[in-house]
Amino acid sequence: MPLPESWRPARRPPPPLALLDAGLGLHSLREPELVGRDAERDALWAALRRVEERRAPEAVVILGGVGVGRSRLVTWLAQRAQELAGVAVAAARIGPGRPFVVEELVLGLRAAEGLLPEAPPPAGLDADERGVRALRRLRELAGERTLVITLDDVAWSEDALRLAERALTTSGLGPTLVVLSAQQDALLTRPAEAAAVERLSARALSLTLGNLPPGQRGALVSGILRLTPDLRTLVAERSAGNPLFATLLVGDWVKRDALTVGEGGFCLKAGVSPALHADLAALQESQMKALRASLSEDDWRAVGVASALGVEVDLDEWRGAVAEAGLSPSPGLESSLVDAQILRPLPTGQGWVFTTGLLRESLLAAVGASAALQLACARALGADPRRADRVAQHRLAGGDAQGAFVLALAAARQDAAAGKMDALGARLRLAEECLARGAQPTLAERAALLTARGVFLRFGEGRMEAGMALFEEATPLAEAAGDYALQAELLRRRGGVRFTLGHADGETGLFESLALAEAHGLIDHQIEALRDLSTVVRHRGATEDAERHIRRAIQLSEEHDRPGQLPRARTTLAMILLDTGRPEEARTLLERCLEDFADGSSRVHLATIHNSLAAVMHNLGELEGAQEHYWRAYTLYDEIGSELSALPRYNVADIYVVEGRHEEARALLDEAMTVLGERPSALMSSYVLSMLVFLDAEQRRLEPLTPHVARLGEALETSQLADRAVLAKLSQAQGLLHARPEGVDPVPLARLDGLVTLQDTRLKG
């Protein structure tokens, strides 16, 4: 059913029955009504309606301090949307030590739909792959309905934030609203998560909550429990409109059996002091002392294990970690913690959630941060690569910076090889933290870390020369360590950068990488060197050599069971097929590759496939489809900050020229030059400037022609770049200007002639 225009009920509901004689035993089980926040609710509802109308994903970020009701607002939206329109809701609560939230999302939605749990994801998937797999499963479960994904307390999980970013870019996700909440104080100490929240906020609706205003504080307390007017005023004033503080103050009275029925509501028993704590921290400290006094040493440490595992605690993980720690908790511990309102059972029955994040953080500080307990958690989680981040974090918290570093570096190298820049950045930050805490890398590990950092700078931030500097710094270390695989990788990466910057020796570096990989039987490095060589020689027009190299790469991938290498190699082959007049074969290959990367697990590769498929459709005259794929590539390249974002702009400008939309084409090319001013690339600059020179010639814009030819000349003459597409545009411009030489400055015309000759000579050479 469609969403109504407003979330407000058609008529005001009757007041709740005042069943004061019903007792207080069920107080902890009821959810207080959300009070106030009408403006925020209106904004959330409007976002949900936009998603439904546009059939496209959006995000909302809700920020605020401790206890202001962020989680309650998130829950309200999910419940109200289900009540009024039957939307599908997938929810996750997050906390320290629990970065992987995706299985919970799918499990929760399946349970809500009355479905049995499905098989676990395949082994070996990293957080990004699991996240995208979950998004696709959620859309399948939701069908045509609007999907709401709620991620609560994302300040503690960069993976959850990556999932939210991925949801906004994953193709085919349909009408999906991702609602995130984050505690502002927590973000102050977590720069990676703060940066991710800032990125999301720039492209999402952002709401910031504070305490409720004075006029709504009485209603807040009444919604928690019906108290006598004087007691209600006391709680309203002390809590200052903070919903969590008010709830805990009243809950503390209930737990202490301090209330009785009075006239018009509950009041304090005779002789009982209100004992109102000064603030949330003081109340929490009092509760910690009471809990510690009620538990044995093993029970107390078992609760600490739960706090170390996260806000939500998996039963099997907890039991495993308790056993690893050598603890023997009381059989009734879990039930007593639920009765004491410390934990709430998960709907699955396979674990619990702490009643408040603040409570869990207090327990973590008091007992869960113990090195012995953190290392017990790490051992319990085992060697599953899907848990590498969590294991590394527990090892680091337990004082094993060396073990954490080894795990983080291994994961970073896998991410670098797969082109997963988001995950790579997180793993590098974790590795850096390990070094800061005393990890001592070997020579080979230092070289590997420098290489991974260089890959991130090159592809994750578009800082090509900075990445190159790290590759060069890593090279002598890899040689001294005798690490041939890393040496081959560095030769290839340096060669690729040198080629992109327009230097002839880039191709030489790729051949050296291939030779080293062949000499030492390094299959993956042979495949990657052949793929990069194919790209380089294709640009200079040697299509037969290019096809030979890439077909050899595909053959090696198939012979040695390297399925992960095939999509990238096939993308390269597709462009060669297009060059040699086989566009339909190219299209078939690229559509297959698009399926391989449609999960968005590598935005670099996905953008390249979209750009290549657009080129094929452009060749086939399908300009509308070509533009769609170019724009997808444009968006993806922009998100990762790559200089390649100039390429789809150049390609769309080419379509606009064909359609006679010259001014729009010129605007796109100017945008591309702005991008390249920040992320220099001789190859991309030559493409864009050659198109601008052609446009100047075709439109007889002789004034900008001179600086455009000068800048292009500088790019081509100071590099060894040779490219067929550049030569084609320059030759067209040359023909137009010589056909109508009147008014043309002979100096730039002569330089243009020289550039045509230079490119022709280089390509023939």
Phi, psi angles (nearest 5°) of residue 149: -110, 120
Which pLDDT value is given to residue 124?
43
* Pair 196, 161: CB distance under 8 Å: yes
Distance separating alpha carbons of residues 81 and 47, to the nearest angstrom? 12
Question: Average of pLDDT values for 333-337?
Answer: 84
Which pLDDT value is given to residue 650?
86
**Which strands, in side-by-side order, build the sheet including 205-209?**
88-93, 147-152, 176-183, 58-64, 205-209
Question: Average of pLDDT values for 325-332?
Answer: 91
* Pair 59, 199: CB distance under 8 Å: no
Which pLDDT value is given to residue 644?
73
Which pLDDT value is given to residue 425?
82
Question: Average of pLDDT values for 455-459?
Answer: 85
Write the DSSP symbol of residue 19.
Answer: -
Of 729 and 235, the one with more pLDDT: 729
Which of 593-602, 608-617, 639-648 is modeled with the greatest confidence?
A: 608-617
Of 86 and 397, the one with more pLDDT: 397
Task: Note the pLDDT tens digit of each residue in 425-453.
Answer: 888 989 999 999 999 999 999 999 999 99
Phi, psi angles (nearest 5°) of residue 350: -105, 25
Q: For the chain, give the mean pLDDT.
A: 83
Write the DSSP symbol of residue 312.
Answer: E
The pLDDT-based confidence of 17 (bands split at 50, 70, 90) is: very low
Distance separating alpha carbons of residues 63 and 761, to the nearest angstrom? 60
Task: Note the pLDDT tens digit of each residue in 294-324.
Answer: 899 999 999 999 989 887 788 889 999 999 9
Task: Taking the CA atoms of 363, 365, 367 and 369 in sequence, report the sign of the dihedral they define.
Answer: positive
Relative orientation angle of helices 421-436 and 388-397, to the nearest 10 degrees? 20
Q: How many residues make up the chain in this entry?
A: 765
Of 197 and 464, the one with more pLDDT: 197
* H or E element, residue 345: strand 343-345
Which pLDDT value is given to residue 468?
92
The pLDDT-based confidence of 730 (bands split at 50, 70, 90) is: very high
| Residues β-bridged to residue 205 | 60
Q: Which of 31-35, 412-416, 598-602, 637-641 has the lowest mean pLDDT?
A: 598-602
Write the DSSP symbol of residue 59.
Answer: E
Which pLDDT value is given to residue 476?
96
- Token reading at 34: 């959300």
| Residues β-bridged to residue 176 | 147
Relative orientation angle of helices 443-455 and 401-418, to the nearest 10 degrees? 40
Residues 6 or more apart from 17 whose CB is under 8 A from it?
none
* Pair 676, 684: CB distance under 8 Å: yes
Name residue, tokens 């509950």: 266
Which pLDDT value is given to residue 31?
65
Q: Which amino acid is at 324?
A: E
Question: Average of pLDDT values for 533-544?
Answer: 86
Which pLDDT value is given to residue 117?
47
The pLDDT-based confidence of 116 (bands split at 50, 70, 90) is: very low
Q: What is the DSSP string of 521-539?
A: T-HHHHHHHHHHHHHHHHH
| Residues β-bridged to residue 583 | none
Task: Note the pLDDT tens digit of each residue in 119-160.
Answer: 444 444 455 556 666 777 777 777 878 888 888 888 877 778
The pLDDT-based confidence of 389 (bands split at 50, 70, 90) is: confident
Of 225 and 755, the one with more pLDDT: 755
Q: Which of 50-64, 185-199, 260-274, 341-355 has the lowest mean pLDDT?
A: 341-355
Question: Average of pLDDT values for 748-760?
Answer: 91
pLDDT higher than threshold 60 for residue 559: yes
Q: Which amino acid is at 403?
A: G
Supply the pTM of this predicted model. Answer: 0.63
Which pLDDT value is given to residue 120?
46
CATH class, range 31-209: alpha beta
The pLDDT-based confidence of 396 (bands split at 50, 70, 90) is: very high
* Pair 610, 424: CB distance under 8 Å: no
- Token reading at 105: 């999302």
Give the percent of the chain with pLDDT over 90.
29
- Token reading at 488: 């081959």
Give the percent of the chain with pLDDT over 70.
87
CA distances 207 to 155, 180, 754, 761, Å, are: 15, 10, 58, 60
Distance separating alpha carbons of residues 67 and 246, to the nearest angstrom? 9
* Pair 89, 107: CB distance under 8 Å: no
Of 13 and 182, the one with more pLDDT: 182
pLDDT higher than threshold 50 for residue 551: yes
- Token reading at 47: 């976002």
Among residues 132, 108, 359, 404, which one has the least CA distance to residue 251? 359
Of 99 and 89, the one with more pLDDT: 89
Q: 671: buried, middle or exposed (CB in 10 Å: 19+, 13-18, 0-12)? A: middle
Relative orientation angle of helices 158-169 and 127-142, to the nearest 10 degrees? 50
* Pair 553, 527: CB distance under 8 Å: yes
